[in-house]
Amino acid sequence: MVAALFVRKRNHYAALGVDCYDFDRDALTWQGGCPGIFHPPCRSWSQLSHMAKPRPGEKELAIWAMQKVREFGGVVEHPYNSRLWAHSGCLGFGLRDQYGGVLVPVMQSWFGHRAPKRTSLYIVGPVPEIPYVADAPTVTTVERMGRAERERTPEQFASWLVELAERCR
């Protein structure tokens, strides 16, 4: 079993047999016991955080996600330049930290995203081969996408993340 936390209500994880925690289900009620795929809100940690209007306690969700992935294994997905990485003591790309976690950069366009969305994955477990796709087709920029599409995990990426998390047991 794998859990996906902080996901949109309409997501690809449910069809993959993943235990999903959306806003209504409240990820903070997750008891652990299996690897997780964590998508905590990023606006408090982004380069444009000074313009963000997060809900009270929203920034702390990413810190909680880092604690849980370090305890149960899995992956935290956040923007490439997220300030969460430095705050959490990540050593840099490709370097394992004291918790066994490693930061890995990916482009979501390699997994079918319509925009070249730069993303970092903090993986506590074995790092799989990354399916790099040179010149992955993109048709727009993230800034030109609606919020739902920007935030939605592409189906191919969700499937790959589930396989990754399953190896983290």
Q: What pLDDT does residue 42 have?
A: 86
pTM, two decimal places: 0.90
Enumerate the domain spans of the chain: 3-145+153-166
The residue ranges of DSSP E strands in the chain, in sequence order, are: 3-5, 19-21, 36-38, 74-79, 101-107, 118-124
Q: How confident is the model at residue 118 (pLDDT cuts 50, 70, 90)?
A: confident
Cα–Cα dist 7/20, whole Å: 7
Cα–Cα dist 59/144, whole Å: 25
Nearest Cα neighbor of 45 from 14, 10, 6 is: 6
Q: What is the pLDDT of residues 53-77, one digit of tens each?
A: 767 888 899 999 999 999 999 999 9
How many beta carbons lie within 10 A of that of residue 35, not counting itself? 24
Residue 136 has pLDDT above 90, yes or no: no
Q: What is the pLDDT of residues 4-58, one digit of tens each?
A: 999 999 899 999 999 999 989 999 999 999 999 999 998 788 776 667 676 788 8
Q: What pLDDT does residue 44 have?
A: 84
Q: Mark 41-76 as b/e (b = at least 16 C-beta within 10 Å).
A: bbebbbeeeeeeeeeeebbebbebbbebbbebbbbb
Residue 94 has pLDDT above 70, yes or no: yes
